[in-house]
Amino acid sequence: MRSTSLANCPMARWRLMRASCRRVLMELQQRRKRMGNQLMEQVHKALCSKYGSARSALAAQAHLQGFYGQHGYVAVSAEYALDGIPHVDMVRNED
């Protein structure tokens, strides 16, 4: 039986002792099932477990600001290109 990763979100320490979600990746089928909300809940639990807080930062694709906003993130930068895709820096200041 082959194991398949449905989603991935590597985490690391970020400046000012804030954790960072490096990349949030999810297979298209899982996105269609709206599994992103469950993934972000698990990310916040993992951040609390590993770093003691769900306060975190990420570089979101600009069109996903609303999605991350539902999870407590707010934009803190102007739009910029990352790998040719519009992004904004976002932070979550709540646990």
Structure tokens given for 76: 């803190």
Do 71 and 58 meet the contact criterion of CB atoms below 8 Å apart?
Answer: no
- The pLDDT assigned to 81 comes to 96
- The pLDDT assigned to 32 comes to 74
Torsion, CA 18, CA 71, CA 79, CA 76, rounded to 10: -50
Q: Domains, the chain, ranges and CATH?
A: 8-92 (3.40.630.30)
**Polymer length in residues for the chain:** 95
* Confidence check: pLDDT of 13 > 70: no
- The pLDDT assigned to 6 comes to 46
Structure tokens given for 75: 């934009």
* Confidence check: pLDDT of 79 > 90: yes
* Confidence check: pLDDT of 4 > 70: no
- The pLDDT assigned to 49 comes to 87
Per-residue pLDDT tens over the stretch 20-48:
776 677 777 777 777 888 888 888 888 88
